[in-house]
Amino acid sequence: MAATTARPHVLMMSEITADGKLTLKKGASSKILMKYMAHETEILLHETRAAYDAIMVGANTIRIDNSFLTVRLVPGKSPLRVIPCSMADIPLDANVLGPDARTLIAVSGRAPEDRVAAMRAKGVTVVTAGKDHVELPLLMQILHDDFGIKKLMIEGGPTLNWHMLHEKLVDEIRLIHLPFIVGGSDTPSLVGGMHINTEDEMIRLNLKKYYMCGSNLVSEFDVLYT
């Protein structure tokens, strides 16, 4: 484990096209692509959610996809839904703020008090994890120490994926490969953020498993931080 403080074990799980994209085009919901997942792979996704203590996606994924992030296709408990949202500005009618499962919104010290109060009034837990923006290492520590989260899965999007990898907070990656090419130089891919400058900065992975799940190839990697 790369981090020095206690944190959850983290799995990044994502559906990606053959050209590494997460959605049809910038601003489009990934739910459109998810319709083309094999039923067996949908089951795998929901079984994975049920096996994890918490699930995290970025605030922009909530704005665009309006995800529920619950376990629906298999028996089992929905994980704690965790959304980093520095200004507490996801819509108050977002599905993730509904009663289907517990939700924790991580905000920064700059989040307006009325927004935080409105979220709490909906029964949502709000924690401050950073001064100007949400600091992911601190959030991981809070989830581990204060909420007993031992296993966390993240389901994107690319901005959150990049920050989590950059902070060396991801242990494993599981990809569901969709047999499509969507193209588009600004179409979100698995990892966004800043480009790297040298090969020394490449994040190395160890392919540990690959298998068919229905008609989808699934690949599993360990993340090797130096």
Ligand X SMILES: NC(=O)c1ccc[n+]([C@@H]2O[C@H](COP(=O)([O-])OP(=O)(O)OC[C@H]3O[C@@H](n4cnc5c(N)ncnc54)[C@H](OP(=O)(O)O)[C@@H]3O)[C@@H](O)[C@H]2O)c1
List of residues contacting ligand X (CB under 6 A): 14-15, 22-23, 28-30, 57-61, 64-65, 84-87, 89, 133-134, 136, 155-160, 163, 188, 192
CB of 78 to ligand X, least distance (A): 17
Nearer to ligand X, 62 or 75 (CB): 62
Q: Token match 């809070």: residue?
A: 142
Least distance from ligand X to the Cβ atom of residue 49, Å: 13
14 or 78: whose CB is closer to ligand X? 14
Minimum distance, C-beta of residue 95 to ligand X, in the bound complex (Å): 14
CA distance from start to end of the chain: 11
Q: How far is the CB of 26 from ligand X (least distance, A)?
A: 7
Residue closer to ligand X by CB (options 53, 65) is 65
Question: Tokens 């980093």 map to which residue?
Answer: 84
In angstroms, what CA-CA distances link 189 with 16, 173, 177, 197? 8, 14, 13, 19
105, 224, 226, 219: which is closest to 170 by C-alpha?
Answer: 224
Contact by Cβ (8 Å): 133, 183: no
Least distance from ligand X to the Cβ atom of residue 86, Å: 3
The torsion angles phi and psi of 25, rounded to 5 degrees, stand at: -165, 165
Q: Closer to ligand X at the Cβ: 60 or 128?
A: 60
38 or 75: CB nearest ligand X = 38
Sign of CA dihedral 110, 114, 120, 124: negative
